[in-house]
Amino acid sequence: MYKIKNINKSYKDLKVLEDISIDFPKNKTICILGSSGCGKTTLLNILLGITNKDSGDIIGFEEDISVVFQEDRLIPWKNIKDNIKFVLKRKMEKEQIESIIDEYFELVNLQEYKYYYPKNISGGMRQKINILRAFLYPSNILIMDEPFKSLDINSKEVLINFFKDLRIIENKTCIIVTHDIDEAIALGHKIVILTDKPTMVKRVIESEGIKDKTELRILIEEELIIKK
Ligand SMILES: Nc1ncnc2c1ncn2[C@@H]1O[C@H](COP(=O)(O)OP(=O)(O)OP(=O)(O)O)[C@@H](O)[C@H]1O
């Protein structure tokens, strides 16, 4: 189990996170759901060690972590295959990189895109490549910050299914920050609902045990809207 306990963070007088504690069970997807500006990115940056916390404990996040950001981080002058090689070369031998790329591109049926440049593929396809790269990177934890935010509804659905397929092939503990209820319902084994200003954990829903998605949606909406 990865954990954070009693995390507090302020930027000068602005208290952003107050006493945040979350358990992240291994190999599950945990969606952190909160409104825009509530401190989700701050929380992720604390997990990644990019931002310092004021107090609290972070347990288990010292290892390598794969990250997918809102916007794609592909290098424009490298083709798709070279973009992936560039990240993997820190961690793997050349031959291993070649074989893992071949294997995965075939598994997810993207062979024809290997030699395309980022500018010649759609935004949805670029984010697909970012997600694939994050799964290929040898890590136990994958963190995604609103990965489907700028996509249209169809691309979003395609990408959500792509993510789910990859999760079956390659097990990781996934932490997804989002303000989108549909994403949280579609992806989370566990949904952590945040309040805002200062951000606290309002409710944790073990969504894996709730098979009826309408019931799950009502539970979430009650927290987000009615009990504001
Ligand atoms: N480096 C910083 N210095 C001062 N204030 C900051 C800093 N970073 C974020 N904030 C403030 O902290 C609050 C939370 O910001 P944060 O980016 O973590 O929220 P968020 O939930 O990720 O927002 P969004 O969904 O819009 O990305 C905001 O009010 C923001 O203006």
- Nearest C-alpha to atom 30 of ligand 1 is from which residue? 37
Task: Please report the pLDDT score of residue 38 as a whole number.
Answer: 87
Q: Could you report the per-residue pLDDT of 10-67, keeping only the tens digit for each?
A: 999 999 999 999 999 999 999 999 888 889 889 999 999 999 999 999 999 989 999 9
Q: Which domains does the chain have, with CATH numbers?
A: 2-63+140-226 (3.40.50.300), 74-138 (no CATH)
Q: What are the tens digits of pLDDT across the range 140-187?
A: 999 999 999 888 888 899 999 999 999 988 899 999 999 899 999 999
The 3-class SS string of the chain reads CEEEEEEEEEECCEEEEEEEEEEECCCCEEEEECCCCCCHHHHHHHHCCCCCCCEEEEECCCCCEEEECCCCCCCCCCCHHHHHHHHHCCCCCHHHHHHHHHHHHHHCCCHHHCCCCHHHCCHHHHHHHHHHHHHHCCCCEEEEECCCCCCCHHHHHHHHHHHHHHHHHCCCEEEEEECCHHHHHHHCCEEEEECCCCECEEEEECHHHCCCHHHHHHHHHHHHHHCC
Residue nearest ligand 1's atom 31 by CA: 37
Closest residue to atom 16 of ligand 1, CA basis? 39
Portion of the chain with pLDDT greater than 70, in percent = 99
Give the ligand 1 atom nearest the CA of 37.
23
Per-residue pLDDT band for 226 (boundaries 50, 70, 90) equals low
Please give the mean pLDDT across all residues of the chain: 91
* Confidence grade of residue 188 (pLDDT, cut at 50, 70, 90): very high
Mutate to test the pocket of ligand 1, among 7, 8, 9, 11 (most ligand atoms within 8 A of CB): 11
Determine which residue's CA is closest to atom 23 belonging to ligand 1. Answer: 37
pLDDT of residue 220: 92
Which ipTM was obtained for this model?
0.94
Predicted confidence (pLDDT) per residue in 108-121, tens digit: 888 899 999 999 99
User: What is the per-residue pLDDT across 74-130, written as a single tens digit (0 to 9) for each?
Assistant: 999 999 999 999 999 988 999 999 999 999 998 888 889 999 999 999 989 999 999
**Residue 228 pLDDT class (50, 70, 90 cuts):** very low
Q: Is the CB of 178 under 6 A from ligand 1?
A: no
